[in-house]
Structure formats: structure tokens, C-alpha cells
Structure 1
Amino acid sequence: MSLEILLKRLGLSTVARVLTDLIPVAEREDWSYAQFLERLLSEEVAHRAENRVATQVAKAKFPFAATIETFDFTFRSDLKRQMLGRFLGPELVSDNRSLILEGPPGTGKTHLCVSIAYKAIQNGFAARFITAAALINELKIAHDLNAALKPYTQPHVLVIDEMGYLGYGPGAADVLFQVVDQRYQQGKPILFTTNKPLRQWGRGLHDEELARAIIDRTLHYGEYLKFTGSSYRLKGAKFDFDRPSPNEGTLPSENAETHKTDLTTSKALGIQ
């Protein structure tokens, strides 16, 4: 039986592809058998890892490609990469480190959440992205809610984008709570982006109590990060929402505030 057939039966397609090119290199550099085998297997492992990441990224349905390396920290001088370190390692999943990013449009919330989820994929996990409106609408019309929930409860990391950007009809809180509660019970993190203060989520979801329960479960092991400032999309443009008119006072300085769970939940919901 030929070497080519053996490699094919073992599923070592990358080894079969690079073998011919590596043999002369190994002879020229006088590699040992162990070194040659290690290099072949390293090529196979690396290629499989690349394929796995590409497959998981496609399944995640990100709206665009984004990594933490492409985020413009010079524009958001109030945010340091070190502040996000605890969300970029395996502990994001192992410690159920959910995150709520609040801020006006264009401040980088979606980019950061996609970057964190992409990093989770690189770390060996599965992720899924969806907007809050699409998620709620899909679940509200589902004939089999349990089956409809699976794409959003099974992945290790779930990004729910644009929470509060649109109004939701009756029943929105019920289906969203199902997602959050099941993921909470399974110890799987959720990354929310929102332009609404947390105390206003109940108004948009038409249920104050369930909104509190959703936030409570999200922030039990998670954190809340608030952005202020101008939109990156309008950088350099003459028109800027955050530019004061002559009659307006000065704007508050840009800052990012992280809150511990015990303080975040109570303050964000207006509880004294």
C-alpha cells in the first residue's frame, strides 16, 4: 500500500500535501527522524486549527471580521487593552464572564464583542452572534421554542447586539429571559451591547421584573462597561453629535467605567 493511500486513510491530508516539499529540506538540514515527524505533524495540526477557526467563524455569523488587534485604542484613549484581558482568555468561558457594553453608536461596542467572541473561537470554543431584535422576533414566532433556543444556548459564547435599539412587542422579555436563564444555568457567558441605560431595559421589554432578572443573571459573574464620547464613524467629519453648539456647556470628558457586580446591578437599575 502506497504512502499516499495510507496518509489519505488516516486523514492526514496536510502531511500528504507538504511531504514532498519537506523531504529535501529535511535532508539538507540533516533533520532527525523525530524532527521530521514533528514538523509534519505540526503542519497537520496547524492546518486543522485554521480550518476549525474558519468553520466556527462561519457558524458564528459575525456581521463583519474584527479582532482585538484591529480595534483602534488610540481613538478610544479611555479604554486600555489590559482592561479586556480577562475576556480574551479561556476564563471567559470557564468563569462565565458575561459583559454588558453600554454607549452611544459608533463607540466600538460591537467591534469589541465580535473581537472577544473571535478570540474565544481561537481558544477552542464556539460562538454565535445575533441582534436582540432578530433573536426576539425569531423566538416569538417559533412553533417549538425549545428547538429554536438551541442555536443560542449551545454555543459557549453568545453575542446579543443592539439591545434596546428598537422597541419590542409583548412577550419579548419572556423569550429573552429563556435564553439568558438557560445560559446562566449552564455557565455560558453572554456579551450584550446596548445604547440604553440598564434601568430602561424594562421599558423596552415591557416587563420590569424580567428585565431585572435578565440583568441580574448576566452580571452575577459578569461586568458592565460604559462608553461615552463621539462616534468612530464620524471621526474627522464636520458633523458630530457630540460637538456642543455655542449655547451648550462643555461635554463630560470621555471615560470608561467598570463596575463590580454588586454595585453595577443596583446602580444601573436605580436601586439605592
Structure 2
Amino acid sequence: MSLDPMLKSLGLSTIQRVLPELIPMAEREAWSYQQLLERLLSEEVAHRSERRTQTFITKAKFPFEATIDTFDFTFRSHLKRQMLGRFLGPELVSDHRSLILEGPPGTGKTHLCIAIAYKAIQDGFTARFTTAAALINDLCVAPERNVALQPYLRPHVLVIDEMGYLGYGPGADDVLFQVVDQRYLKGKPILLTTNKPLNQWGRVLHDEELARAIIDRTLHHGEYLKLTGPSFRLKGRTLDLDINSIEQSTEIKAEKSGKKSLST
């Protein structure tokens, strides 16, 4: 029996592909049998690792690709890469280190959480991205709550983005607490972004006690970081966002439009 069918039956597709190239190389360079075997297996392992990583990235449902290397720390002088070091290794999962990033829009909160989750995937862990609004809506309307919870409980790392950006209806506090509490009991970290100070979460969720319980469980093994400064999205641009100026500009445009319509 030839090698190809045996390699195929064992699922060693990479070895099957590279073997014709490596045998002549091994002969030219006088590799030992062990050297050839090590090279073949390393090719197979590397390919499987890359394929697994890509599968995990697809399942994570990131809205965009972001890594820690592409984050502009020079634009955030108060934030140092070293401050995030404990979240960029296997310890993120093994020590269930959760993180809450607070800050106004455009400060890089989502980028950093995706980058941390992406690094976890590279370390062999699974991750899932969702917004707070999507998670709450998904669980509130689910006919089988326990079944609907599983996609948020199974991954090693869960990113919950935009906590507090939108108003939430009845039951939001309950479903969010269930996710946080069950992940806390399982020792699985959460990376959470918000534009609201922690003392306003009770107002956002309509329940002060549950808000405190959510924060307590998230920060027990985690950290809270506040990002400040101008928006990355408006970098290099000067905008007048004074509300009075905006209202005056709107009134002037309305007056001009009215005059034009009268003259025509």
C-alpha cells in the first residue's frame, strides 16, 4: 500500500502535501530519519494550529480585526502596553482575569478587548464577541433561556461591548446577571466596554443591587481601566461640538431655506 492512501486515511493532509518536496531535500542535506519525521510533523502541527485559529476567529464574530500591535499607544499617553500585560497571555483564562474598560466613544475600548480576545485565540482558547444590546435582546426573547445562554457561556473569553450605550427594557438586569454570574462560577473571564461610570450602571439596568452584583463578580479577579482623551476616529480633525453652535447653525440653515422657498 502506498503512502498517499495511508496518510489520507489518517487525516495527515499536510504531510501528504509536503512529503514530495521534503524527501529530495532530506536526501540532499543528509537528514536523519528523526530529522525528516520531526520536520513532517512540525508542518502538520503548524497547519492544524493555523486552521484551528482561523476557525476560532470566525466563530468569535469579531466586527473587525484588531491586535495589540495595531493599537496606537502614543495617542493614549496615560495607557501603557505593560498595563495590559497580564491580559495578553494564558493567565487571562487560567486566572480568569476579567476587565472593564470605561471611556467615551473613540478611545479604543473595543479595539483593546478584541485584541485581547484575539491573543487568547492565538494561545489556543475560544472567544465570542457581542454587544450588550444584542446579548440582552437575544436572551430576553429566547423561548428556552438555558439553551440561549450556552453560546455566551461556552467560550473561554467573552467580550461584551457597549454596555450602557442604549436604553434597556425590563429583564435586562436579570439576563446580564445570569451571564456574568454563571461565567464567574465557571471561572471564565469577561472583557467589557462601557461609556458609563460604574456608579451609573444601576440606573442603566434599572436595578442598583444587581448592578453592584455584576460589577462585584466581574472585578473580583479583574481590573477596571478608564480611557480618556480625544477620539481615534476624529484624530487630526478639529470639530466644534458645542450644542449652542449646532443649534444656531441649524436655525440659520432653516431661515435661508425659508427665504429661498418664498422667493421661488
Q: What SS does the aligned partner of 1:63 have?
A: coil
- Aligned 8 A contact 1:66 1:114 in 2: yes
Go from structure 1 to structure 2 and tell me whether the alpha carbon gap of 1:24 and 1:182 turns closer, same or farther (over 3 Å shift). same
Q: In structure 2, what is the equivalent of residue 130 of structure 1?
A: 130
TM-score normalised over the length of structure 2: 0.90
1:250 corresponds to which residue? none
**Measured at CA, do residues 17 and 182 of structure 1 come closer, stay the same or move farther in structure 2, by a change above 3 Å?**
same
Aligned length: 243
Q: What is the SS of the residue equivalent to 1:232? A: coil
Q: In structure 1, what is the Cα distance between the partners aligned to 2:213 and 2:138? A: 21
Runs of 4+ in 1 over 3 A off after TM superposition: none
- Aligned amino acid, residue 19 of structure 1: L
More helix by share: 2
C-alpha distance in structure 2 between counterparts of 1:162 and 1:140, whole Å: 18
Give how far 1:31 is off. Answer: 1.1
Shift in Å, 1:238? 2.3
CA change 1:46–1:86 in 2 (3 A) is same
Pairwise CA RMSD = 1.3
1:103-144: CA deviations, max 9, x gaps? Answer: 011111000000000111111111000000000011000100
How far is 1:237 from its partner? 1.2
Secondary structure of residue in 2 paired with 1:159 = strand
Equivalent position SS for 1:238: coil
CA distance in 2, matches of 1:191, 1:183: 12
Alignment of 1:31-180 (within 5 A): 31-180=31-180
Q: Which residue of 2 aligns with 1:20?
A: 20
TM-score calculated relative to the size of structure 1? 0.87
CA distance in 1, matches of 2:73, 2:43: 34
Cα shift at 1:73? 1.4
The farther-off stretch of 23-32 and 52-61 is 23-32
Q: Is the 8 A contact 1:152 1:158 kept in 2?
A: yes
Pairing 1:215–2:212 present: no
Which sections of structure 1, spanning at least 5 residues, go unmatched? 246-272
Q: Is the 8 A contact 1:230 1:241 kept in 2?
A: no
Distance (Å, rounded) in 2 between the aligned partners of 1:23 and 1:68? 40
Structure 2's unaligned 5+ residue stretches are: 246-264
Shift of 1:215: 0.3
Q: Does 2:199 align with 1:199?
A: yes
